[in-house]
A and B are shown apart, each in its own frame.
Chain A
Amino acid sequence: MSIPTNGKRLTPHFESNLPPRNRKATLWRTLFQLSTTIGMIMLMLLLYNIINASFGLVAIDNKIDPASLAVDGVPIEELDQETLITIIKENVSKGKFRQLEREQPLAERTWDEVYQVVIDDVVQPKDIVGTWSLVESLTRKEEIVAEVEQEHPQATVKFTSWIDPQFVTSPQSSDVLKAGVRTALLGTLLIIAITIVIALPIGIGAAIYLEEYASDNWVNRMIQTNINNLAGVPSIIYGMLGLAIFVRAMKPITSGAIFGFTDPTTANGRTILSAGLTLSLLVLPVLIINVQEAIRAVPNSLREGAYGLGATKWQTIWYHVLPNAIPGILTGAILSISRAIGETAPLVVIGAATYITFDPNSPFSKFTTLPIQIYQWTSRAQGEYHNIAAAAILVLLTLLLSLNATAILLRNRYSRRY
């Protein structure tokens, strides 16, 4: 759109009016663009902040400085196995050395195992005395090393990736360096499995009812309004509902007592089953609304065609409406499920303060989930807990991202078919 500005055709008044109007337009346009940029910058900052904390230098105080163990100036990482064994012999008590030999003679162990013994029993890492972010670690490495040297002469400084395969596969631990998200990840997966099994059929069923069967009467209008309202209820309210109904009132079922599960550590209703049921209630409204939209998008001519050939209502839905709505239904379902994965507040209410280090193995186990783990680690004052919280956030975001990518892939695959 362009306004002709050659003076011949415009009145003088209009001509004098136009430049300020255009200036104002440009100014506001810039403001709108700026706002959009701010939104993008915030997303970048969020990701930067997490990645920045997930990697970096860490200073660990040791009982013995590994540098002092060097033989003839060769650091212990490069010594051969025999010298390492000599170091162990010189630095541990006789009883301890005999015990080590009894477990497996040191000479028969591999170099890596012997080196690990040196680290565990001779160097003996104690506490983390400081952690630095990725940017700090890259830009002022020398300063940090010098600083640590001065304050903690025994300490080693090394570059750590807080997120690594070991972080994903090891259970929760009070030792930050050994702590992992295995327990939390398994908890999340089990709870989501229960949520899918319960919420998906009910959600799709309700959406089919509302879109295909429900006539426009007050009952159905009430159901629809009710679903819209439920979608706006804060998630913590669902947590309280779950606490009152699933954890307390249905305790015999959710603790597994009536099925013969009498494990005293789990028989209190605060179980994976309760959490899964609560999340099912939580995702249902959003799920129903998403599936309704997918079903509504199926053209009416398909239904009319099926009826015209003598199909019954259900045959029409099953053979014509649902196959065409599948891409939309899948996308909507995956998106609402991935919302459930990130939910924290209701599960904190359901699960209470849980510190568990064993794998959840049945629906009647106690649980912790990735978001709860992140919440607990973030709430700790010590900096190193923030590092593992950031690493856990990366695991969570990766999980969510791969789910969303699956949703898009599925949608594209099925869209081609129909």
Chain B
Amino acid sequence: MSVRVISRSTKANPLHHHPRRGEFLIRGFLLFCGVFSILTTLGIVYELGKEALLFFRNPAVDLLEFFTGTKWQPQADAFGILPLVTATLITTSIAMLIALPLGLAVAIYLSEYATPKARNILKPTLEVLAGIPTVVYGYFALTFMTPVLRSIFGRDVVDIYNMASGGLVMGILILPLITSMSEDALSAVPRALREGSYALGATKLETAIKVVVPAAISGLAAAFVVGISRAIGETMIVAIAVGAGPNFTFNPFKGAETMTGHIVRISGGDLSYDSIDYDSLFAIGLLLFAITLILNIISQRIVRRFRETYE
């Protein structure tokens, strides 16, 4: 074959006149694969938007009440999303209170202190932690964390289903995510910065805290934002351990229902299409989608700035 190619290319008619239909078809298929993801996004926006529009057009729903009402009782035509939002915020805050300091500390330890040997053990272990399905964490929250909390604070204070236990376990779930993103950011800081700091007589800690962390701050911020977004969208832990009914409360030891928990409970039951219950789920879903999308875009903006600095 090679002989033929050479002899042909010596003629006046060069290779590029040879039509390559196969190449063209393959390219077309690959382009379709790439565009497919756009279709998914359009599908999400269209379906959530369509059903949410039906919901907001319903005479029983008032847009102002939707965002300010403190009662979510579809049976009584009360559609105020605040109880679901506060529950989401409380569980997310508890999770971030656990995951942020711990995750940052583990990341600093892994990137600045750990010997290669220790790192080779710790990183895969954290990956195992990250690979455990969330429903298992839900089981852990209900059968371990809740009894522990109840024995510490008393059974009268802590309900069986409560936001604290779900939030704490969610923190453990997000810990590996924050750790791995933060560690990437810290490791990307050029070695020269550390050497310079040591040369000026700084200790390892001073180098880590005053030089490396500030240099990686945008990467750490991105990890933080992605962590929040993951916590807001987390479903199974809250569905199992946090409760089964919207409840407008700020007490973390009480049961409540987050946006995700509500969607999964209602759609897990017998749900008839074209009912206001069904449509209301898509309105919640749209809000959830919007919040996480905004957080993701913010984190990508931060990361892009961070890349410009060091590459």
Contact = CB atoms under 8 A, between A and B. Distances in A.
Contacts of B129: 39, 42-43
Interface residues of B, number: 92
Contact of B109 (A35, A201, A375): A35
Interface in B81-110: 101-102, 105-106, 108-110
A60 interface: no
B30 A53 contact: no
Interface string B12-43: 00010000101100110111111111101101
B225 to A, nearest CB: 10
B276 interface: no
Given A43-B129, A244-B47, A245-B47, A226 B139 contact: no
Contacts of B263: 236, 239-240, 349
A123 B309 CA distance: 76
Contacts of B40: 230, 241, 281, 284
Given A226-B41, A234-B235, A378-B138, A349 B267 contact: yes
A36 B43 CA distance: 42
Contacts of A228: 296, 300
Best-buried of A14, A35, A201, A206 by chain B (most CB within 10 Å): A35
A208 B23 CA distance: 13
Contacts of B5: 310
Interface string A57-78: 0000000000000000000000
A213 B109 contact: no
A390 B144 CA distance: 12
A105 interface: no
Interface stretch (B58-66, B202-210, B247-255): B202-210
B135 A375 contact: yes
Interface in A197-219: 201-206, 208-210, 213-214
Contacts of A226: 37-38, 41
A222 interface: yes
Interface residues of A, number: 92
B106 A393 contact: no
A389 interface: yes
Interface of B: 5, 15, 20, 22-23, 26-27, 29-38, 40-41, 43-44, 47-48, 51, 101-102, 105-106, 108-110, 113-114, 122, 125-126, 128-129, 131-140, 142-144, 172, 175-176, 179, 198, 201, 203-206, 209, 226, 229-230, 232-236, 239-240, 260, 263-264, 267-271, 273, 281-282, 285, 288-289, 292-293, 295-297, 300
